Amino acid sequence: MHHPGNVFVVSAPSGAGKSTLVQRLVRSVPDLVFSISFTTRKPRPGEVDGRDYFYIDDERFEAMIREGGFVEWVQVYGHRYGTGRDWLEGVLASGRDVLLDIETTGAQNLRKVIPDARMIFILPPSAASLEQRLRSRGKDSDEQIAIRMRHARHELELYPAYDYLVMNDDLEIAYRQFESIVFATRAGRERMAPAAQRILDSF
């Protein structure tokens, strides 16, 4: 998929602090758009259709699969999630950068379509601290927490597929690292070469 903007993919085991970091990043960094996925799960309290996700039913999701409407899609925790092709192409055509919050399987599939996507993995400091965060967040039952902890192990095993590993122990330091990846990517030579050439030509 051709694109002038940068593509960032962020994955993490549930509870590592990904939402905390991602929300702050998209609020603070100009021209960085959060990728709104399609999902068959119901909105949680406080979530807004068209801002957090596009909420659609199974039938519509299947129709989109048939039409090739997804760049990647997965089924996790009993629901389907996918990145809409038209939606992503539209954002990228506008020249802005896009950040996708997707799980590890989808992230690897996306990399096949967009090989220069920058892949970022958020690490919890330890298993114990991850469990503690899931408990203190207060959103999940004991059973849900046990499922998420088992799933976290599988997700963590995939860290070698990522370009950057941000350890979220001290939140401020983790955030600064996270933000730095975006700005450093924007300053990459290949990206900046046309601008540098224009400047040179102006002399």
Partner in contact with 124, chosen from ligand 5GP, ligand ADP, none, beta carbon below 5 to 8 Å by kind = none
Q: How near is the Cβ of 64 to ligand 5GP at its closest, in Å?
A: 11
SS3 call for 38: strand
Cβ pair 118, 9 in contact under 8 A? yes
User: Would you count residue 136 as binding ligand ADP (CB under 6 A)?
Assistant: yes
Contact 9, 119 (CB under 8 A): yes
Q: d(Cα 87, Cα 70) in Å, to the nearest integer? A: 9
In terms of Cα–Cα distance, which of 122, 104, 101 is closest to 177? 122
**Binding-site sequence positions:** 12-19
CA distance 107 to 161: 9
Q: Which of 26, 38, 29, 30 is nearest to 86 (CA)?
A: 38
Spatial CA neighbour of 33 closest among 85, 93, 97, 110: 97
Q: Which of residues 50-109 bind ligand 5GP (CB under 6 A)?
A: 72, 74, 76, 81-83, 101-103, 106
167 binds, among ligand ADP, ligand 5GP, none (CB under 5 to 8 A by kind): none
Residue 34-53 contact track with ligand 5GP, rule CB under 6 A, x = bound: ---x---x------------
Among 65, 171, 192, 193, binds ligand ADP (CB under 6 A): 171
166 binds ligand ADP (CB under 6 A): no
Separation between Cα atoms, residue 116 and residue 10, nearest integer Å: 14
Site track 7-46 with ligand ADP (rule: CB under 6 A), x = hit: -----x-xxxxxxx--------------------------
Q: Which residues bind ligand ADP (CB under 6 A)?
A: 12, 14-20, 133, 136-137, 168, 171, 174
Q: Which residues bind ligand 5GP (CB under 6 A)?
A: 37, 41, 72, 74, 76, 81-83, 101-103, 106
